[in-house]
Structures are given as C-alpha cells and as structure tokens.
Amino acid sequence: MPDRDASVREDGRVYPRFRAVLDGFPAYRPGRTPVSAGGKSHKLSSNECPYGPLPSVVEVITEAARSVNRYPDNGAEALIEAIAQRFGVPVDHVAVGCGSVGVAQQLFEAVGEPGAEVLYAWRSFEAYPALADLAAAESVRVALTDETHDLTAMADAITPRTRMIFICNPNNPTGTVVHAAELAGFLDRVPPDCLVVLDEAYREYIRDAAVPDGIEVYRDRPNVAVLRTFSKAYGLAGLRVGFLVGHPAVAAAARSTMLPFSVNRLAQAAAIASLAAEDELMQRVELTVKERTRVREELVATGWAVPPTEANFVWLRLGERTMEFAAACEEAGIAVRPFAGEGARVSIGDPEANDAFLRLARAWR
C-alpha cells in the first residue's frame, strides 16, 4: 500500500496523486502584454516574427479552414515532401511535430527511461528540463562559458548512460553560436549510440559564416539530427509546426512517439505555403537581422555588455537586477523575458518596438 497520507495537502484535503516530478514545475502564469501609460505595448518576450502572416499564407489557411471537419493527414505527406524538396533530403529523413518543441518531446519520449541521461548546456532553452523530467530522463547540465556552449566540458560530461545531447545553436537565451570546427571536434567524441540534436530554431537569422548548417552536418553522421521550426522566421508560431531532419532510424523514432494528428490541417497547409513564399519571408528576416545589429550596437554604445547574437534576440546579463529591469520594461509597455538572478532576453521587434526598448535601456542605465 502506498503511503496515503502523502497526498494530504495544506488545506487538509486529499487530492489525486500525481508524479512527484510535477511538484518542481513552475505554476503556469499566463503571458500578458503590458500597456504603458501612453497606451503602447510591445511584446518582445517570445522571439516571434513581429509581422503578421503573408496574404498568400492567410489565403491558404482560410481555404484549409473549410475542411477542418476532416482529420489532418497524420503522416503529413505533402508537408514532408515539401520539406524534403526544400532541404534536399530524402522523405524518410524527415519527421514533423506540434512545433519543434513537440518534435523535441517526441525525441525525449523515444530515449527517456529510468537511468537515461540527457545532456544540455545551461542556461539554454527552457523546454529541455521539463521535457526530460516528463520523460523520466535525468538532466545533466553543463554551464555555459562566456555565454556560449562549452563543448569540451560537455564532451567530458558524457557517460555510458548519456542517450541524447542538445546543442542549441544559436543558444536561447544568449544568442551565441558554436562554430563548425569545434562542433566537429565535439561530435567526434560522442559515442555513435548517443543522439545529438542540433536545435536550430533560429537558423535563418545566422549571418556568421563559421556557423555550420546542421543539415550539412547530419548527412554523414547517423547520430546527429536537426530541429527546425516554422514558428520563428516563417512566422507561424500560433499554428505549431516544426520538423526534424535525421537519418531514417532517428526520424522513425520521432514519428513513433508523436501524438496522433498533432500537426493540424491549417498548420500543414500554412507550412507548405510558407516554404513556397520563402523569398518574401526571408526579406523580413533580413530586416530583423539589420535591426538586431542596430539594437546591439546602440546598447553597446550605451555601455551595456551584450554578447554577439546570431538570433532574433539579445541577452542582457543583469544578475540580481534582472527583475527590476523587467519591471521597468513592463512599466514602459514592453514585455521581455526575464530569468530571475541571471538576465533578460529581449526579442528584436519591428523598428518602433526596438526604438521603445532602446529608449528604456538608455534611460535605465
């Protein structure tokens, strides 16, 4: 008999018993966009594309809406074909999911079991710890060095139990990158039965030529897979679709753990339409890249230390003053993403939003 007293809560009542791992999960706080005294608000907290969907994509979504009485194609055949075409890979090297977080969860489910270790840098993408916990895998975190992945320390942290390693490139929330040569040296040290996932959610924003393209890296490395998403540069965060490119055994594992039908009809249609409209979308990305340079240079000129960023956000290591800074941003109608005691991540928005943020950042210093 389990100890029944354990589920008595503070109010003296007994509630259904859940996995202990959930007790460590932060309570859900709905994100809200603050409004300044002047009535303006800017959401710079989720690294979204600041521009609405292209008319051509809206049209396709509208058309797809007419058939939502039907289930989506669970195999996402047309979308997978379009992705395979676009990236020059075979269709059996592609798996899709409900956002790339969905695909990541599919991978965690595929490797997670008691005793399995999953290795990642910290701080990195917030989703990794929760996905590891849910999959009953043990998180092994390796501290960043100079705000960047420390690949030597990460290779040293591999044990016989390491089943999966995440490399977020560029890293969320710091925006920093690992280069081709150091990544190759690291991959050479990873045992072939351990999966390395290159999380490239911000790939389209990279302008540093020394950063490897995961889709080139994975080709002759069967234990390397790449995660990409339609949420950021392609501007479809609200529709939830992402994908993996990897060798057939890896793609098959990711498919086998997918929640059925979790990539919906509208998402599949919109993703296909977005690939077709890529030139237009990449012009927007170029605008964001220009704004990123402007924002970082102005911050640095004002005395802020901002690591070089290849993503659509900047990282401010504010330490103990992080929450105070976030509150000042909120006061000014700007939502940023604070990590208490560490720093704040601020997305690059449209020029008006960036101007508002820069005004605040100048004044705050």
Ligand X SMILES: *Cc1c(COP(=O)(O)O)cnc(C)c1O
Give me the residue label for tokens 């965690």. 108
Closest residue to ligand X in the complex (CB)? 99
Q: How far is the CB of 335 from ligand X (least distance, A)?
A: 16
> Minimum distance from CB of 349 to ligand X (Å)?
15
Rg (CA), the chain: 21
**Which CB, 230 or 357, lies closer to ligand X?**
230
* DSSP secondary structure letter of residue 72: P
Measured in whole angstroms, the distance separating CA 362 from the mean position of its chain's CA atoms is 29
Q: Which is nearer to ligand X, 195 or 360 (CB)?
A: 195
- Bridge partners of 314, per DSSP, are 346
What's the closest the beta carbon of residue 312 comes to ligand X, in angstroms? 10
Comparing CB distances to ligand X, the nearer of 243 and 333 is 243
User: In whole angstroms, how close is the CB of 297 to ligand X at the nearest point?
Assistant: 23
Q: Which residues bind ligand X (CB under 6 A)?
A: 47, 99-101, 125, 168, 172, 199, 201, 229, 231-232, 237, 242
Q: Among residues 60 and 96, whose Cβ is nearest to ligand X?
A: 96
Q: Which is nearer to ligand X, 282 or 328 (CB)?
A: 282
Q: Which residue has the tokens 């939830």?
A: 240
Q: Minimum Å distance from CB 202 to ligand X?
A: 7
Task: Provide the minimum distance between the beta carbon of 174 and ligand X in the complex, in angstroms, as a whole number.
Answer: 11
Output 172 or 322, the one with its CB closest to ligand X. Answer: 172
Q: Which is nearer to ligand X, 121 or 353 (CB)?
A: 121
Residue 364 CB, nearest approach to ligand X (Å) = 25
Question: Residue 188 has which token pair?
Answer: 């050479």
- In this structure, the number of other CB atoms found within 10 A of the CB of residue 31 comes to 10
Per-residue burial over 342-363, b = 16 or more CB atoms within 10 Å of its CB, e = otherwise? bbbbbbbbeeebbbbbeebbee
Residue 93 vs 123, nearer CB to ligand X: 123
Q: What is the DSSP string of 280-330?
A: HHHHHHHHHHHHHHHHHHHHHHTT------SSSEEEE--GGGHHHHHHHHH
* Min CB(39)–ligand X separation in Å: 29
- In sequence order, what E strands does the chain have? 42-43, 94-97, 117-122, 138-143, 162-168, 195-199, 224-229, 242-245, 313-316, 334-335, 337-339, 343-347
Alpha-carbon distances of 26 from 14, 22, 23, 130, 296, rounded to whole Å: 21, 9, 8, 10, 31
Residue 37: C-alpha distances to residues 40, 164, 173, 337 (Å) = 8, 47, 29, 21
C-alpha 33/C-alpha 44 separation (Å) is 9
